[in-house]
Amino acid sequence: MQSVLAMTYLWLKAGHVIFVIFWMAGLFMLPRYLVYHQEAAPGSPEEAEWASRERKLLKIILLPSIIVVWVLGILLATTQHLWGEAWLHAKIALVLILSGYHGWLASYAKNLARGERQLTGKQLRLLNEVPGVVAAVIVILVIVRPF
């Protein structure tokens, strides 16, 4: 029985890491798409193409990935009895921040598709750094478990 649980844990962990990579790739790509979209001429075919790319990235990569990341993460924490660990609480807080960032990007993409340009290209480029910084801290929390 122990070997079945151990194998299940390894498959859950592998799936979690795989879908975190997919999710992070999307979180790195979407802000770049938004920059290019923002810098395209309003009403141009290029602008419409960027809006289409953003929708596809959100529906095909980002949405399924975030769902699987959360489901497998919860299963991992449950099977390993980690809910009392301080490092996990910090990690979950950061994943909530990334989830909110994901939601904000999706909302901004919809607004941009309607022609609402609320930020500059430079601001969007700076926002592109958010997932990298947060992911680095999450990796440290998971690997080092500093507290």
* C-alpha–C-alpha distance, residues 75 and 16, integer Å: 10
DSSP state of 145: -
Residue 52 CB coordination number (10 Å): 12
Rounded-to-10 torsion of CA 133, 137, 143, 147: 180
Query: What's the DSSP call for residue 4?
Result: H
Q: How far apart are the C-alpha atoms of 137 and 71, rounded to whole Å?
A: 21
User: Would the annotation count 16 as a binding residue?
Assistant: yes
Known binding residue 81? Answer is no
Q: Which residue ranges are tagged as binding site for heme?
A: 16, 91
Q: Which residue ranges are tagged as binding site?
A: 16, 91
